[in-house]
């Protein structure tokens, strides 16, 4: 691999993927490096229970449920937004 990238992202958890997406959205080339054999990092194993049906979400008109959170958490790599990010960055 001889290509140079503007941004190197360590890890493909939620924060790493958000950073990669922000960089690509601003015209930068990105490589994300993951130590495990799967993408997702700790986000992959997070149940997200701390962010379900919060006061702030309700005030913003978001209606998130435990079942919706569980669905997202168990199928992270199949979600359209995640696939879109993956199509724009190189993961090594």
Domain boundaries, given as residue ranges, for the chain: 7-91
**pTM for this model (two decimals):** 0.56
Could you tell me if 86 and 20 are in contact, meaning their C-beta atoms sit under 8 angstroms apart? no
Taking only the tens place, the pLDDT of each residue in 13-63 is 888 988 998 999 999 999 999 888 888 887 777 655 566 778 888 898 887
pLDDT at 77: 47
* Cα R_g (the chain), whole angstroms: 15
Residue 16 has, within 13 A of its CA and on its CB side, a CA count of 22
Per-residue confidence band for 69, with pLDDT thresholds at 50, 70 and 90? low
Beta-bridge mates of residue 7:
30
pLDDT value for 78: 46
Return the pLDDT at 61. Answer: 87
């Amino acid at each position: 691999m001889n290509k140079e990238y503007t941004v190197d992202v360590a890890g493909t958890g939620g924060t790493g993927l958000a950073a990669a997406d922000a960089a690509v959205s601003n015209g930068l080339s990105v490589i994300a490096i993951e130590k495990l054999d799967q993408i997702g990092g700790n986000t992959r194993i997070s149940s997200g229970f701390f962010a379900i049906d919060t006061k702030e979400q309700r005030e913003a008109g978001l209606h998130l449920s435990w079942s919706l959170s569980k669905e997202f958490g168990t199928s992270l790599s199949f979600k359209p937004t995640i696939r879109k990010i993956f199509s724009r960055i190189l993961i090594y």
